[in-house]
Amino acid sequence: MRIILSETLSYCFGVRKTLELTNKLLADRPDRTYCMLGEIVHNEHVVEALRASGLRVVRTLEDVPPGGVVILQSHGSSRKRYEELKARGLEFVDATCPMVRIIHDRIRAVEAQGRVPVVIGQAGHEEVRGIVGQVARALVVKSSDEVTPELFAGVGRAGVVAQSTFVEEEARRIVERIRALVPDVVFHDTICQPTKTRQREVETHTRTADVVIVIGSRHSANTRHLFNIARSINPRTHLIDRPESVEDLAIPREATVFVASGASTPMELIAEVVRRLESRPAPAGRRETAA
């Protein structure tokens, strides 16, 4: 078995920054009660490790105990959320990814210019809710099929941003469709560079691999996008969220296996998957890093 590792693995800059901040708070002030509102990042293993370190999970701000400090997730929050925190007098730490902050700035600028804000992304995703929550009103589309004359009726000027982990090629198809319906369109390409790099690596190496394994949470949008890109090229693509799942995969002994990961997948999880692959019966596995 030949194992090829994606050159871009594990945490992206934004996730790493969020986790470093959170772990430092937990270590430096063990006397404080820190609460995460929902999943601070989309990976069950990471969330459970933080809970074991003392971080409390709450569903609403009403669940924050007296004296508790709220850590806002890396996906970003709406303006209404900040207003509610202040109205309740709650102390909070903002762990929003810097790339998501840029999207917030862009969509507010779109609104200020008198354009109709349009968000390319998955409606209901935390990041998209936070982006939409920066303005009074926004249209949300996740595919070119959703860009209809009815949805854009009366829109003469539009400003478009994208969820930071959206699929690059699909975003461009959506923008082309919007341009066909709206006379004046400005597109701010806010898909972050690490996301584009991962997607391009997956697309390239999936074409030559016998089997593709994408490691990450099924709740993670960027992980699902990587899986869908690979699966559209190679049907022998698998999404796994725990190392033991690799034991159930039927992988030919002489196969070339390409391994990629989502942006919130811990390195130790990836390393354990690779270890299990390499420990399969002879011929022995050999590992390479994609160039």
Question: What's the pLDDT tens digit per position in 23-80?
Answer: 999 999 889 999 988 777 888 888 899 999 999 988 899 999 999 999 998 899 999 9
Question: What's the pLDDT tens digit per position in 178-222?
Answer: 999 999 999 999 999 999 999 999 999 999 999 999 999 988 889
Q: What is the mean pLDDT of the chain?
A: 92
CA-nearest of 140, 149, 142 to 119 is 140
**At 286, is the pLDDT very low, low, confident or very high (cuts 50, 70, 90)?**
low
Q: Which residue intervals of the chain bear CATH 3.40.50.11270?
A: 13-97
Per-residue pLDDT at 281 exceeds 70: no
| pLDDT for residue 287 | 56
Distance CA 260, CA 194 (A): 13
Residues comprising the chain, all counted: 291
Distance CA 204, CA 290 (A): 10
Per-residue pLDDT at 288 exceeds 70: no
Taking the domain 13-97, which CATH number applies? 3.40.50.11270
Q: Which CATH class is domain 2-10+193-289?
A: alpha beta
| pLDDT for residue 252 | 87
Per-residue pLDDT at 6 exceeds 80: yes
CATH fold for the domain made of 99-187:
Cobalt-precorrin-4 Transmethylase; domain 1 (3.40.1010)
| pLDDT for residue 201 | 94
DSSP track, the chain: -EEEE-SS-S--HHHHHHHHHHHHHHHH-TTS-EEEES-SSS-HHHHHHHHHTTPEEESSGGGPPTT-EEEE-TT---HHHHHHHHHHT-EEEE---HHHHHHHHHHHHHHHTTPEEEEES-TT-HHHHHHHTTSS--EEESSGGG--TTTTTT--EEEEEE-TTS-HHHHHHHHHHHHHH-SEEEE---S-HHHHHHHHHHHHHHTT-SEEEEES-TT-HHHHHHHHHHHHH-S-EEEESSGGGGGGS---TT-EEEEEE-TT--HHHHHHHHHHHHTSSSSPPEEEE--
Q: In this structure, are residues 1 and 210 in contact, taking their beta carbons and an 8 Å threshold?
A: no
| pLDDT for residue 284 | 45
Per-residue pLDDT at 285 exceeds 80: no
Question: Between residues 251 and 290, which one has the greater pLDDT?
Answer: 251
**127: annotated active-site residue:** yes
Question: Between residues 273 and 281, which one has the greater pLDDT?
Answer: 273
Catalytic residue among 7, 83, 111, 127: 127
Q: Which residue intervals of the chain bear CATH 3.40.1010.20?
A: 2-10+193-289, 99-187
Rg (alpha carbons) of the chain, rounded to whole number? 21
CA-nearest of 170, 171, 202 to 189 is 171
Q: Which long-range contacts (CB under 8 A, 24 or more apart) does 137-140 make?
A: 138/107
